[in-house]
Amino acid sequence: MDLQRPDSYQCGAGPGFQEHVLHKTILVGDSGVGKTSLLVQFDQGKFIPGSFSATVGIGFTNKVVTVDGTRVKLQIWDTAGQERFRSVTHAYYRDAQALLLLYDITNKSSFDNIRAWLTEIHEYAQRDVVIMLLGNKADVSNERMIRMEDGETLAREYGVPFMETSAKTGMNVELAFLAIAKELKYRAGRQANEPSFQIRDYVESQRQRPSCCSFL
């Protein structure tokens, strides 16, 4: 397993926004919630159905997102959700600028574990890391165990943006990464007269709702 920081990695700190800087974003959450699938859908626009093959260790994909005419480079790390890899992935939290925390709406324990994930994030990540909570597999409405409003309530409690996603249909996948990129660009390059960007308001106004939950 290669635990070296890639050569192209640079810290995003510093005055003003620099287009060449890679912004480190990490996908975390229980094994099987769909982290790899979400990244594949975002990167390649496809979903590979079939047997589940758990991630071993950690890997990354570089992806450029255009935000208000500016290119934002995200370096997205896909971590293994299995407990035995936890000490390895903790080491990567420290210089992350954003964390996408996933649960599976059809798996109650993955939702119940979110508080423990947040405790770990607060312990190992930077204090100002951007966190977004995602309830994945929203397409599997007949096996839903977690109501959308429960995800919203938990997110509100921790003050983080929230949406449901589907790595299968692509629902809200691009939006999740775009919102992160917008927030990171805003933080790094804020001008004195620029209106403030509120990631939670942005996500709430832009997100699609699964058809089952449009009444929520």
Kindly list the residues in this chain that would bind ligand GTP in the complex (CB under 6 A).
31-37, 49, 52, 54-55, 80-82, 136-137, 139-140, 166-168
Q: How far is the CB of 93 from ligand GTP (least distance, A)?
A: 15
Hey, is 208 helix, strand or coil?
Answer: coil
Given the complex with ligand GTP, which of 97 and 110 has the nearer CB atom? 110
Measured from the CB atom, the residue of 12 and 34 that comes closer to ligand GTP is 34
Q: Residue 75 Cβ, how far from ligand GTP at the closest point, in Å?
A: 17
CB of 137 to ligand GTP, least distance (A): 4
Structure tokens at 82: 């299995």
d(CA 35, CA 5): 21
The set of residues, in sequence order, having a beta carbon less than 8 Å from that of 183 and lying 6+ positions away, is 98, 130, 197, 199
Q: Two tokens at 7?
A: 């050569």
By C-beta, is 25 or 55 nearer to ligand GTP?
Answer: 55
Residue number with CB closer to ligand GTP (140 or 187): 140
- Give dist(CA 207, CA 173) in Å, integer: 10
Return the structure tokens found at 128: 């100002």
**Nearer Cβ to ligand GTP (37/97):** 37
Could you tell me which of 96, 83, 76, 91 has the C-alpha nearest to residue 32?
83
Q: How far is the CB of 21 from ligand GTP (least distance, A)?
A: 27
H or E element that contains 63: strand 58-67
| Nearest-approach distance from CB 54 to ligand GTP, in angstroms | 3
User: Residue 51's CB: how many other CB atoms inside 10 A?
Assistant: 5
